[in-house]
């Protein structure tokens, strides 16, 4: 199997359609809202936790083809596999990226991601095992210090001023290796 290509996409202000109002849609909505996507939810019923994420639009009804208008990325997360298959097919015809929850055919797999400021580390099994991706993310969350994002921002400031980042990168890697060693030694002793 050829693995999926990892990409970083600027979703700020881009429309992401979530077809479904349940747990799967809520998880995807939480993920995409972290990255500034404009969410449109279409489902006859929507969980309160999904509603609480503040999607820009909630259409409380079954999915219609017109819901794809202006959409950059769609997520087929309905509890009805036929609805999901229809969303995937319509997206293919229109050239819209689509992720299907529940193991259906998909062109996009949503990775598990650890975010430390501007640093984003993502893990994907190309959609084969979301549980393993999630477990790997949890391990990385434990390993990567929270202040790592601040150090990356410091490198960004050097870059903006046209200064070399080489020494800064080496310093951060040395610091990070020390943090990781301490965590691993703690595991060995615990």
Per-residue pLDDT, averaged over 105-125, amounts to 89
Confidence check: pLDDT of 25 > 70: yes
Model pLDDT, residue 63: 99
Model pLDDT, residue 12: 96
Q: What is the pLDDT of residues 35-52, one digit of tens each?
A: 999 999 999 999 999 999
List every span in the chain annotated with CATH 3.40.50.720: 15-109
CB hemisphere CA count around 185 (13 angstroms) = 6
- How far, in Å, CA of 81 to CA of 172, rounded? 47
Write down the pTM of the prediction.
0.82
- 65 within 8 A of 90, measured Cβ to Cβ: yes
Confidence check: pLDDT of 167 > 80: no
In this structure, whether the domain defined by 15-109 belongs to CATH 3.40.50.720 is answered with yes
């Amino acid at each position: 199997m050829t693995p999926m290509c990892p990409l970083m996409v600027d979703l700020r202000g881009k429309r992401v359609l979530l077809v479904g109002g349940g747990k799967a849609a809520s998880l995807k909505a939480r993920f995409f809202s972290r990255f500034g996507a404009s969410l449109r939810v279409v489902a006859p019923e929507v969980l309160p936790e999904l509603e609480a994420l503040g999607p820009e639009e909630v259409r409380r009804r079954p999915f219609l083809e017109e819901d794809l208008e202006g959409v950059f990325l769609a997520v087929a997360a309905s509890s009805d596999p036929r609805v999901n298959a229809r969303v995937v097919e319509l997206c293919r015809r229109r050239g819209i990226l689509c992720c299907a929850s529940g193991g259906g055919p998909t062109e996009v797999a949503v990775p598990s991601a650890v975010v430390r400021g501007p640093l984003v580390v993502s893990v994907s099994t190309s959609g084969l095992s979301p549980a393993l991706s999630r477990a790997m993310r949890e391990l990385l969350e434990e390993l990567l210090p929270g202040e790592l994002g601040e150090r990356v921002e410091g490198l960004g400031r050097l870059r903006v001023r046209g200064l070399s980042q080489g020494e800064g990168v080496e310093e951060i890697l040395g610091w990070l290796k020390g943090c990781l060693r301490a965590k691993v030694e703690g595991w060995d002793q615990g």
